[in-house]
Chains A and B, each alone.
Chain A
């Protein structure tokens, strides 16, 4: 309640609550978003002082121009075979997402999350890192696993919590984990993995290893305290880590202004910590690759951490439990000025004469068949909805290395109960 006697003739204070520019029913128009021309951003030396990158935190590193040509100093000049592998994996991820989304709608599992529109980010990052480097991902970097050749069947088994799930059905669908592929266990708690990546990188430095880590976070979760700890520890110890913020504009129903994006870019947060920062067109597979490559070389040569903001758009709902038409215009994803990452890489390959519609149709057919076959195989091992009572004693394992008496007693009690 306002205290009138204190207010006198001073103006009343107002709370600013950021609002997205468009709500359902509005016609989205993103012409106000500054999209610099491809090739415009300078590329500093990997050993540069962090201050040299500061202009780039308000810029946008872009390689692919409107005609699909790779231009400027950030062009990674990738071999066409690598580009085709990246493209093929991006296509796979999109098909996989569609199949699993449908599987959830068919009641075969409880939950799914797509990464539609963000495929270039994880795939290109995986391509730019070494296979031995580790990722501390969020739930929207399934491309990392796909690029690293993790079997689709195993991903699906995790989604179905079936007999093929090596995590014994304990984790929510899509919370994958694979030590061998350098894909750290995903947690439902947002932001936690960001400083963990820094710790892993510190460990690598402590042991005089040559491997580096990459931590991932979304725009919304940058508001978590973990973001700040990660940035602090990374700079204090000059940890060999890449910290990636995937700015897809939305955190469920909250636009990124609620996370602080109205006032500054996420990349700009690097400045205050004394860290190198880059802001990158997240729908430009080549720009993503080039930026991660730059940051990884910087980290690997003991020149310190880098924060990269990948500027992109979450083209679909947050999850199978979300309906985005409740908070944003349906047409927003088409209005997004950076386009579709898969289309853009396809255009690039075609512009270079490395791809054609015929091969594209064949690839789509092949990948659809591959995903379908994997799904068939995974479903042979069961789906969540027809899960029986068998093996429920495994629920009590792995809380500790050895099962203590109290958990053993509870297991025995549970086994005596009916379902």
Chain B
């Protein structure tokens, strides 16, 4: 089985999907000839031609809007927004058109499309190359929101997203494109080739949407995470030698509530970790759901470790990023008797 980093896995997913379905078109800024600023769409134009993989003008609004028209025609757009921080000009099209089309027309028109976008911090990206805007999308009925955390999942989830009849916002944690991240920025990065999750089967396979992955079984507490934070949380638990059950949500909406509920009922404690700011972040929804559904099993208040309620800073990257120290501090509260 080939070993791939997340970029290669995503690239491979594109090729598998495009070979199988002639209606898939890929476009975005620099996504054509050059193959994308992160190389995810590399080689697509060469293999599939300019009509199926092409460069787009710098207009997120135009990219999403034309994808809407293409989906209305019957194509399956698999489009790229260069950074999630730049998805906002396309927000009206995503929220008002993409998300609501099936509903407003009672299924007469649907929007089978995938909007891929690199997201998250930990890369000295500053304000506009580090954001995690997932809760702006989980709040919108009609959208599915997916975040992979390994090359294996990235390919399988992307293929499942492309085949899904509903529109998917596919957030790619760019911090872990090349290797998982422990949260210790002062330690060298381990490449995917030396990490779990980088064995990526050739050809077609899918990782089902709305199905969380229990990364590690444990008894002491349940940790809910996604994207980069799966790895950060896992490293923190190992360092603190805690028998945690770590759940990688993989799909935020529709959420795999059964897996979460079963885990928290077992452990009685829950820690939620995400990079996005705290207030109205997706962690708030998770916390509410866990409290509503597992209240009588909880032995401590649900804790959240998140980014601060500030714009993402440049120089204070590691004060902002919810790294191991902050996770360990939260453990003291969650694990208190």
- Asked whether A230 lies within 8 Å of B96 as measured between CB atoms, the reply is no
Nearest CB of B to A244, in Å: 15
- Asked whether A206 lies within 8 Å of B97 as measured between CB atoms, the reply is no
Residue on A with the closest CB to B256?
Answer: A405
> How far apart sit A171 and B108, CA to CA, in the bound complex (Å)?
13
Pick from A178, A188, A196, A401: contact of B69, CB below 8 A: A196
Tell whether A400 pairs with B254 under 8 Å between CB atoms, given A167-B105, A177-B105.
yes
A232 within 8 A of B: yes
Residue on A with the closest CB to B110?
Answer: A401
Q: Given the complex, which residues of A lie within 8 Å of B107, measured CB to CB?
A: 398
Which stretch from A110-118, A197-205, A381-389 is at the chain B interface?
A197-205
Chain A interface residue bracket vs B: 35 or more
B104 within 8 A of A: yes
B319 within 8 A of A: no
- Asked whether B255 lies within 8 Å of A206 as measured between CB atoms, the reply is no
Nearest CB of A to B236, in Å: 30
B275 within 8 A of A: no
> How far apart sit A171 and B69, CA to CA, in the bound complex (Å)?
20
Query: Which residues of chain B from 24 to 47 have a CB within 8 Å of any chain A CB?
Result: 25
B298 within 8 A of A: no
Which stretch from B5-13, B72-80, B190-198, B240-248 is at the chain A interface?
B72-80
Residue on A with the closest CB to B112?
Answer: A401
Q: Given the complex, which residues of A lie within 8 Å of B164, measured CB to CB?
A: 401
Tell whether A199 pairs with B57 under 8 Å between CB atoms, given A189-B96, A192-B97, A399-B103.
no
The tally of CB-CB contacts under 8 A between chains A and B is 141
B311 within 8 A of A: no
Which stretch from B59-67, B124-132, B172-180, B226-234 is at the chain A interface?
B59-67
Q: Given the complex, which residues of A lie within 8 Å of B169, measured CB to CB?
A: none
Query: Which residues of chain A from 174 to 213 have a CB within 8 Å of any chain B CB?
Result: 175, 177-179, 184-185, 187-189, 192, 194-207, 213
A406 within 8 A of B: yes
Pick from A189, A203, A232: contact of B75, CB below 8 A: A203
Q: Given the complex, which residues of B lie within 8 Å of A187, measured CB to CB?
A: 96-97, 104
- Asked whether A398 lies within 8 Å of B97 as measured between CB atoms, the reply is no
Nearest CB of A to B29, in Å: 12
- Asked whether B57 lies within 8 Å of A406 as measured between CB atoms, the reply is no
Q: 1/0 contact trace for A158-178 toward B, CB 8 Å? A: 000000001110110001011
Q: Given the complex, which residues of A lie within 8 Å of B72, measured CB to CB?
A: 134, 184, 196, 199-200
- Asked whether B105 lies within 8 Å of A196 as measured between CB atoms, the reply is no
A225 within 8 A of B: yes
A150 within 8 A of B: no
Residue on A with the closest CB to B210?
Answer: A404
Q: Given the complex, which residues of A lie within 8 Å of B250, measured CB to CB?
A: none
A233 within 8 A of B: yes
- Asked whether A171 lies within 8 Å of B142 as measured between CB atoms, the reply is no
- Asked whether A206 lies within 8 Å of B52 as measured between CB atoms, the reply is yes
> How far apart sit A207 and B25, CA to CA, in the bound complex (Å)?
11
A333 within 8 A of B: no
Residue on A with the closest CB to B73?
Answer: A203
> How far apart sit A199 and B64, CA to CA, in the bound complex (Å)?
9
Pick from A228, A398, A405: contact of B102, CB below 8 A: A398
Q: Given the complex, which residues of B lie within 8 Å of A134, measured CB to CB?
A: 72
Q: Given the complex, which residues of B lie within 8 Å of A189, measured CB to CB?
A: 92, 96-97
Pick from A196, A399, A406: contact of B255, CB below 8 A: A406
> How far apart sit A203 and B255, CA to CA, in the bound complex (Å)?
33
B304 within 8 A of A: no
Query: Could you write out 8 A-B pairs with CB less than 8 Å apart?
Result: A134-B72, A187-B97, A198-B69, A225-B89, A226-B65, A229-B61, A229-B65, A399-B141
The 4 residue pairs across chains A and B that have the minimum distance between CB atoms: A199-B69, A199-B66, A229-B62, A404-B254
Interface set of A (CB-CB < 8 Å, partner B): 134, 136, 166-168, 170-171, 175, 177-179, 184-185, 187-189, 192, 194-207, 213, 225-226, 228-230, 232-233, 236, 397-401, 404-407
Interface set of B (CB-CB < 8 Å, partner A): 25, 51-52, 57, 59, 61-62, 65-70, 72-75, 89, 92-93, 96-97, 101-110, 141-142, 144, 164-166, 210, 253-255, 257
Q: A166-B108, A236-B57, A399-B103 are in contact. List 8 more A-B contacts (CB 8 A).
A: A170-B103, A177-B104, A195-B65, A195-B69, A203-B73, A203-B75, A206-B52, A225-B89
